[in-house]
Structure 1
Amino acid sequence: MKTRLFLIDSFKATLALFYYLIEFILNKNCKKTWLIGERPSEAKDNGFHFYKYVREEHPNDDIYYIIEKHSKHLSRVDTYGKVIFYNSFKHYYYFFKSELIILPFERSTFPRLNLIWYYYRLGLLRKKTVFLQHGITKELQKHYAYGNRFKFDLFVCAAQKECDFVISNMNYTVDNAKALGFPRFDNLSFGSTSNDIFFMPTWRQWMKDYTEDEFLNSTYCQEINNLLKNEIFIKFIEDRGIYLKLYLHDIFQKYSKLISSPSKNVIICSSSNYDVQELMKNSHVMITDYSSVAFDFAYMNKLVFYYQFDKADYYARHFQKGYFDCDQHGFGPVLENSAELVDSIIHYYNNEPYLKYINRVKEFYGEKTDRNNSLRVYKAVKELF
Structure 2
Amino acid sequence: MEQTLHIKNLKIKKKRLILLLSRPEKATQLQASIVFQNTGFHFSHPVELSIDDSPEMVLKIDVSFLEQNDGDWALVFQDTTSDTVYTAILDSKVRLALLLGRHYVRRGDFVYFPMGGSGHSFLLRCRHWQPHDRLSFRIKELSAFAIYKIFGKLLKKHHIWLIYEKFCVTAQENGFYFFEYCMKQNEKNVYFILDRKSPQWNDMQKYSQNVIPFLSFRHILYLLTADLYISPDGRHHAYIWKPMPNPITREINKQKLYFLQHGVLYLKNVDNLFGVHSSSPVTYFTASSEFEKNIITQHMEYEPSKVPVTGLARWDKLENTADPAHPFILLMPTWRSWLEGQNDELFCQSSYYRHYTSLLNDQELLDYLKEKQIRLVFYIHPKLREFIDNFHSDNNLIKLISFNSVPLNQLLMGCSMMITDYSSACWDAYYLEKPILFYQFDLKQYNETNGSYIDMEKDLFGDRCTKQNELIRLIREYAENGFQEKETYTAMRENLFVARDHDNCKRTYEYIKSQGY
CA contact 1:51–1:65 (8 Å) conserved in 2: yes
2:162 to 35, 47, 62: 35
Residue in 2 that maps onto 1:188: 318
Which secondary structure does the structure 2 equivalent of 1:260 belong to? Answer: coil
Residue in 2 that maps onto 1:117: 249
2:138 is aligned with 1:7: yes
Q: CA deviation at 1:262?
A: 4.2
Compared with structure 1, are the counterparts of its residues 115 and 19 closer, same or farther at alpha carbon in structure 2 (3 Å cutoff)? Answer: closer
2:179 is aligned with 1:48: no
Amino acid of the structure 2 residue aligned with 1:8: I
Deviates more, 1:286-295 or 1:81-90: 81-90
Compared with structure 1, are the counterparts of its residues 159 and 31 closer, same or farther at alpha carbon in structure 2 (3 Å cutoff)? Answer: same
Structure 1 CA distance, aligned partners of 2:162 and 2:387? Answer: 33
CA contact 2:144–2:221 (8 Å) conserved in 1: yes
1:80-115, Cα deviation, whole Å (9 max, x unpaired) = 231111222212222233211112211267444743
2:209 is aligned with 1:77: no
Compared with structure 1, are the counterparts of its residues 343 and 96 closer, same or farther at alpha carbon in structure 2 (3 Å cutoff)? Answer: same
Q: CA deviation at 1:276?
A: 1.3
Which secondary structure does the structure 1 equivalent of 2:436 belong to? Answer: strand
Which secondary structure does the structure 2 equivalent of 1:321 belong to? Answer: coil
1:238 to 356, 370, 383: 370
Q: CA deviation at 1:187?
A: 1.7
Residue in 1 that maps onto 2:428: 296
> For the aligned residues, what is the CA RMSD?
2.2
2:266 is aligned with 1:266: no
Residue in 2 that maps onto 1:368: 499
Structure 1 segment 200-215 matched on structure 2, within 5 A: 200-215=332-347
Amino acid of the structure 2 residue aligned with 1:381: I
1:186-225, Cα deviation, whole Å (9 max, x unpaired) = 1211352242100000110111122212222211111112
CA contact 1:203–1:249 (8 Å) conserved in 2: yes
Residue in 2 that maps onto 1:229: 361
Residue in 2 that maps onto 1:174: 304
Residue in 2 that maps onto 1:328: 458
2:273 is aligned with 1:143: yes
Give the structure with higher Rg (CA). Answer: 2
Structure 1 segment 268-287 matched on structure 2, within 5 A: 268-287=400-419
Structure 1 CA distance, aligned partners of 2:160 and 2:512? Answer: 13
CA contact 1:229–1:261 (8 Å) conserved in 2: yes
| Higher-helix-fraction structure | 1
2:468 to 331, 338, 341: 338
Structure 2 CA distance, aligned partners of 1:270 and 1:13? Answer: 35
Amino acid of the structure 2 residue aligned with 1:140: N
Deviates more, 1:142-151 or 1:280-289: 142-151
Q: CA deviation at 1:72?
A: 2.4
Which secondary structure does the structure 1 equivalent of 2:269 belong to? Answer: coil
CA contact 1:245–1:266 (8 Å) conserved in 2: yes
Report which structure shows greater RCO (CA 8 Å, sep ≥6).
1
CA contact 1:46–1:133 (8 Å) conserved in 2: yes
Structure 2 CA distance, aligned partners of 1:92 and 1:167? Answer: 33
Number of aligned pairs? 373
Compared with structure 1, are the counterparts of its residues 128 and 262 closer, same or farther at alpha carbon in structure 2 (3 Å cutoff)? Answer: closer
Structure 1 CA distance, aligned partners of 2:437 and 2:238? Answer: 37
1:303-327, Cα deviation, whole Å (9 max, x unpaired) = 100000100011112x1222x3333
2:286 to 142, 150, 156: 156
| Higher-strand-fraction structure | 2
Residue in 1 that maps onto 2:439: 307
Q: CA deviation at 1:345?
A: 1.3
Structure 2 CA distance, aligned partners of 1:168 and 1:340? Answer: 36
CA contact 2:224–2:252 (8 Å) conserved in 1: no
Which secondary structure does the structure 2 equivalent of 1:55 belong to? Answer: helix
CA contact 2:412–2:429 (8 Å) conserved in 1: yes
Compared with structure 1, are the counterparts of its residues 148 and 223 closer, same or farther at alpha carbon in structure 2 (3 Å cutoff)? Answer: closer
1:248-294, Cα deviation, whole Å (9 max, x unpaired) = 00111111111123422111112253221111111100000111111
Structure 1 CA distance, aligned partners of 2:350 and 2:341? Answer: 13
CA contact 1:186–1:373 (8 Å) conserved in 2: yes
1:349 to 458, 479, 482: 479
Which secondary structure does the structure 2 equivalent of 1:42 belong to? Answer: coil
Q: CA deviation at 1:151?
A: 5.0
Unaligned runs of 5+ residues in structure 1 are none
Identity %: 25
CA contact 2:328–2:417 (8 Å) conserved in 1: yes
Residue in 1 that maps onto 2:448: 316
Residue in 2 that maps onto 1:100: 228
Which secondary structure does the structure 1 equivalent of 2:448 belong to? Answer: helix
Compared with structure 1, are the counterparts of its residues 71 and 350 closer, same or farther at alpha carbon in structure 2 (3 Å cutoff)? Answer: closer
Amino acid of the structure 2 residue aligned with 1:77: M
2:330 is aligned with 1:198: yes
CA contact 1:243–1:266 (8 Å) conserved in 2: yes
